[in-house]
Amino acid sequence: MRGSLVALALLACALIMGVSTASAATTTVKVTPNNQPTLWPSTDTRAPGYFEFVPGPGTPPLGSGSLHLVTPDSTAKVQLGNSDYAGTQLQNIDSMSYYTYRSSSSTGSAVQAPSYQLPVNTSAGFTTLVFEPVYNTDQGPIVNDTWQRWDAFNGGNGVWWSTRSIPGFCAQTCYLPWSAIVALYPTATIQGELINQGSGNTGIDANVDAYTFGASGNATTWNFDPLTGPPTSKDQCKNGGWQDFDNPTFKNQGDCVSFVATKGRH
């Protein structure tokens, strides 16, 4: 009884103080070559730059693979965008992070890796806000052949730059913490989120996975993986295994077993 009274008292205090008792929710979405054109279409990819879905490298933070980005020269560029959170105000954003893996086969600058970007409509016009690990030294240096997590939000301390000059924020050579950008333009809205590599950064071979964006306590983490399948035995379909395949996809275990039994003719 005493425990119940204490719990009720704590709840009452939280309500009085305006503290939310709801927990944040994160949804993980698997992105493969099948749904990438819809979920994360290419918004600006320039040859000889290209992207692909690959196993690994090493042990990715989510799933079995990742998104591989290659920009061999200074003209190459790879950029993919998602618009699920389009219209979100900067003041409501509370989670931004991603993982990168920079291959030692890269021939470009050792401090360059894929960037996390937000195209934004502000009261002063359009710009793109850019987060790059190189300007966030408190999170450590870029290490080749290693999966590294970068926190673009970082409690409001993630450092960003702007592609265009807007009042309070000069273009490309000024670096501001996220909290300062929000203070300048709290109601500015994003058009979506971008993964970007290249356009001046020569010879970068890298991977991205577990890209996360969140606002108002809810977040999405996108898991980039190559296609899985087809199954080659009925046992692979059992104990929920049928849900792991997306080449092809199955409605249930029976559908998966039938596919194996008929050698894909069902």
Domains of the chain from N-terminus onward? 24-224 (2.60.120.260), 228-266 (no CATH)
The pLDDT of residue 264 is 86
pTM attached to this predicted model: 0.86
Output the CA torsion sign for 59, 60, 65, 71: negative
The pLDDT of residue 244 is 84
Output the six-digit token pair for 98.
């991603």
Exposure string (b/e) for 197-225, b if CB count within 10 Å is 16 or more?
bbeebbbbbbbbbbbbbbbeeebbbbbbb
The pLDDT of residue 243 is 85
Output the CA torsion sign for 116, 121, 124, 126: positive
CA-based radius of gyration for the chain: 22
Peptide bond into 167 cis (omega under 30): no
The pLDDT of residue 177 is 98
Q: pLDDT tens digits, the chain, 266 residues: what are they?
A: 434 433 334 333 433 333 333 346 999 999 999 999 999 999 999 999 999 999 999 999 999 999 999 999 999 999 999 999 999 999 999 999 999 999 999 999 999 999 999 999 999 999 999 999 999 999 999 999 999 999 999 999 999 999 999 999 999 999 999 999 999 999 999 999 999 999 878 899 999 999 999 999 999 999 999 999 899 999 999 998 888 899 999 999 999 999 999 988 86
The pLDDT of residue 11 is 36
The pLDDT of residue 112 is 96
